[in-house]
Structure 1
Amino acid sequence: MFDAIKGFINPSKNPDISQAFEYQNTHLPTLWLLGKTGAGKSSLIQAVTGNSDVEIGNGFEPCTMTSHAYSYPKATPLLRFLDTRGLSEADYDPAEDIQISAQQGHALLIIAKAEEPEQRDVINALSKIKKQGSIKQILVVHTAVKQLSVDEQNKTVQYNQQQFEKIWGSEIAHAEVDFELTNGKAFGIPALTEELTRLLPIIQQFNHDQQHADTEGANFQKLKTEILWYAGAAGAADAIPAVGLVAVPSMQAKMLHSLANQYGVDWDKQAFAEFIGTLGSGFAFQYASKLGIRQLVKLIPAYGQTIGSASAAVISFASTYAIGRAACKYMYHKSKGEAVSNQDMQNIYKDALANIKEVAKSETR
């Protein structure tokens, strides 16, 4: 088992890693955007990701006959947006789009401009999606609401909401936003983010307005997306039978090397041993033992391929994230020639493990 730990110091090329990366890429949580042209889909993506440059058509790649997909961030994707282009086509078949959006943690977002009661194309598409029966999570986002008077806003939002709920056959959660107010600010973004986080917990990790108590925390935020990507890859590796034992430590090793380079820290045996030591005397043994046990459980017929693999994926996702978070704190102080207490390191590892649990469950289901 301790061979897995050795891989942290000098990771070698592992053919299973590319397999896990591919698995992760095809199982990204997907937000399926359903709405007319000009409804505000690009603005919604900008609000979620904080990337003001993204536009529908810019960075989107064809993925079906009628839809285009955008993965974010580009280099280390954590989330996919699916934009349906064929709504106005009479023979639009949502089957391919459903297959993509239902890969993992899927959610359907209906984007409707408040001043546009004519939603026939969207309603027709929604009716077909309802009949397919695969989509369970849905949210209506009413946009440009502040371009109307309060009375008009209430009437038009209620009218469009009722149109969609009539087709869906039940109440649908909704959010009211305006991305382009005259004062340059936006309306309703916190409420929208809350609703989206309820559908996909990973959304919370894109909150760029979070206040940081110190420089170390701010530095971690800059590297958080990369760490989450490695965590997703590690979880994907442990979802594949007979891959996790070697691939998970290899991915974590590559993550640590990458972080060390960005902090300007020499990552050698001494630095690695010191880092592991700050996490507690029994950390290395527990890590190796638990990793080995998870792989053995996955070999149990039926149980191992379902519950066992799912549990292993969640643990690998969460532990990779927690290791990355702790490494950032260690390397920050190391780069400044400062010591960091073992208690602080163990606390930050435990906190990271606890805080990422729900995201890990969502990302690996």
Structure 2
Amino acid sequence: MAKPSESSPPQEQHLPTLWLLGKTGAGKSSLIQALTGSSQVEVGNGFSPCTKTSFAYHFPHDKPLLRFLDTRGLGEAHYDPSEDIKLCQQQSHVLLVVAKVEEQEQSALLTVLSRIRKQKNIKHLLLIYTAVNTVPKEEKNRLVAAHQQAFEKAWGSELSAIEVDFDCDTHTYYHRDQLVAAITQIMPLVGLMLDKKEHANQEEQHFSQVKNEVLWYATGASFTDLFPVVGLVSVPAMQAKMLHSLAKRYEVLWNTRGFAELIGVLGTSFSAQYGVKLGARQLVKLIPIYGQTLGAATAAAVSFGTTYGLGRAASYYFYHKSRGKTVNTQNIQQLYKDAFELGKKVSPRG
């Protein structure tokens, strides 16, 4: 698989990656549509080749937070997936095995699973049975039981499984929430990214439209803060770009006066702690061994949380400013604290 370009933004070089493994027609593209909300055309045109028969799909397209890998050709004559499988393993975090419930011939997929198991590189695997509503319930249960037994034998242990049925033409997604919840248990960031819950008010609705952009900047700040001293410059720079971008999205004039007002409503404790904590994290990373491991990971998680919290608070601030409303100091400070804690929790390096 081609390595990401060194000129790519840092967060795009280490994207959380879901590897979809299944026969052609198993429903992998429909699964991506259901998870991302992208159309069939967007998904179809969004794949880019990364090996001879494997393709990558980045979501969102403009500021990617998640990568899907699709290895194609399983079961086709004269196709040896060994090289593709090896390369996909190196960049994947979760393996999603996709099987159409009525497709009983899965020998090629079972063989590949046995190969992957022997390499011991994949720690997280989830079985996804698709098109489960197209067969009678009793028949479906029999087929699922047979598949489950065969897959668990190939993998050598019990496996978690989700039954889904996605009709993308009518936007009917059976068990989508259960699928997101299962992936979230393994990769919390994915759950926050793909969340489609109802919003309590218009401000929350507007934030949902910029949330993935905030997460993109948070991921970038988190990655750059893994390295000693670098984060002292890179984290504030990423956050400054984020604030400028958000102001533009909310159509609010952004200048030094606006920045000072935002920091003011966040409170003196925020500005004081921000500078002290950022500097302290850089010093910790200079400690031999500890600083390059646990210290760096902690710094990255805190920078993710800080950036996400700042983005959430800024969105609240810009929303009210764009409507000529007064910003509630207590509300914005609580929003920052809650988002900061959530960000630390879901950080890919938390």
**TM-score between the two structures when normalised by the length of structure 2:** 0.93
Give yes or no for the alignment of 1:271 onto 2:262.
no
Give yes or no for the alignment of 1:121 onto 2:111.
no
Q: 1:108 to 1:58 in 2, by over 3 A?
A: same
Partner SS state of residue 364, structure 1: coil
Q: Is the 8 A contact 1:238 1:244 kept in 2?
A: yes
Partner SS state of residue 204, structure 1: helix
Question: Cα offset for 1:23?
Answer: 3.1
Higher normalized contact order (CA 8 Å, seq sep 6+, divided by chain length)? 1
1:335 corresponds to which residue?
322
Partner SS state of residue 105, structure 2: coil
Take 1:51 and 1:245, find their aligned partners in 2: how far apart are those partners? 37
Q: 1:347 to 1:69 in 2, by over 3 A?
A: same
Question: Cα offset for 1:152?
Answer: 0.6
Question: Cα offset for 1:261?
Answer: 1.3
Residues 301-341 of structure 1: CA deviation (Å, up to 9, x unaligned): 11111111111100001110000000011111111221112
What are the within-5 Å matches in structure 2 for residues 285-296 of structure 1? 285-296=272-283
Q: Is the 8 A contact 1:299 1:305 kept in 2?
A: yes
Question: Cα offset for 1:160?
Answer: 0.8
Q: Is the 8 A contact 1:127 1:168 kept in 2?
A: yes
Q: Aligned to 1:99, which of 90, 94, 116? A: 90
Q: Aligned to 2:12, which of 25, 37, 53? A: 25
Question: Cα offset for 1:234?
Answer: 0.4
Give the number of equivalent residue pairs.
342
2:211 corresponds to which residue?
224
Question: Cα offset for 1:200?
Answer: 1.7
Take 2:335 and 2:7, find their aligned partners in 1: how far apart are those partners? 28
What are the within-5 Å matches in structure 2 for residues 297-312 of structure 1? 297-312=284-299
What are the within-5 Å matches in structure 2 for residues 63-212 of structure 1? 63-88=50-75, 89-90=79-80, 92-93=82-83, 94-101=85-92, 106-180=93-167, 185-207=172-194, 209-212=196-199
Q: Is the 8 A contact 2:227 2:285 kept in 1?
A: no
Question: Cα offset for 1:226?
Answer: 0.5
Q: CA RMSD in A?
A: 2.0
Residues 133-186 of structure 1: CA deviation (Å, up to 9, x unaligned): 010100000011111111110000111111110011111000001113998633
Take 1:184 and 1:291, find their aligned partners in 2: how far apart are those partners? 45
Partner SS state of residue 58, structure 1: helix
Give yes or no for the alignment of 1:364 onto 2:340.
no
Partner SS state of residue 140, structure 1: strand
Take 1:134 and 1:364, find their aligned partners in 2: how far apart are those partners? 19
Residues 261-317 of structure 1: CA deviation (Å, up to 9, x unaligned): 121212122111111011111221211111111111111111111111111100001
Q: 1:95 to 1:184 in 2, by over 3 A?
A: closer
Query: What is the aligned-residue identity percentage?
Result: 51
**TM-score between the two structures when normalised by the length of structure 1:** 0.89
Unaligned 5+ runs, structure 2: none
Q: 1:330 to 1:110 in 2, by over 3 A?
A: same
1:12 corresponds to which residue?
none
Q: 1:73 to 1:141 in 2, by over 3 A?
A: same
Q: Is the 8 A contact 2:33 2:168 kept in 1?
A: no
Q: Which runs of 4+ in 1 moved over 6 A?
A: 181-184
Take 2:20 and 2:33, find their aligned partners in 1: how far apart are those partners? 13
